[in-house]
Amino acid sequence: MRPTQVLRGGGDVPLGKYGSYIGPWGATGGQKQRGIITYGLSPNRQNPFAGAGHDAIFNTFRRFRSQVLYIAPPFIAAYYIMDWATERNQYLNSKAGRAEFGEEE
């Protein structure tokens, strides 16, 4: 009857070759873990803005360089067309333009 009383008693009672009571049914206790302990620190906790300014400048330049030929020509064409249309409208509404093209409208 003596081993049964020890098992039901709980606590840190020496038992078996491991030297401690491992707990009731379903407990996750067991032999103490031994070995190498490692610690880690995630990269965003170390220095989250390391090189952010440098990367922002060069990444922005790289992205601009790769997209400029898709964006610039339509904007340049639109600028010259609007400039021509504005000058043409101003000329047609001027005294010289009305005298030249006044009877056509």
* Better pLDDT: 90 or 45: 90
The pLDDT score that the predictor gives to residue 32 is 59
Strands annotated E in the chain: none
Residue 71, pLDDT > 60, answer yes
Calpha distance 31→88 (Å, rounded): 92
The pLDDT score that the predictor gives to residue 91 is 94
The pLDDT score that the predictor gives to residue 22 is 58
The pLDDT score that the predictor gives to residue 82 is 98
The burial class, CB within 10 Å (0-12 / 13-18 / 19+), for 95 is: exposed
The pLDDT score that the predictor gives to residue 76 is 97
Kindly indicate the confidence band of residue 72, based on its pLDDT and cuts at 50, 70 and 90.
very high
pLDDT in tens, 11-69: 555 555 555 555 566 566 555 556 767 778 777 677 878 888 888 999 999 999 999 99
Q: pTM higher than 0.75 for the full model?
A: no
Q: Which residues contact 12 (CB under 8 A, 6 or more apart)?
A: 20, 21
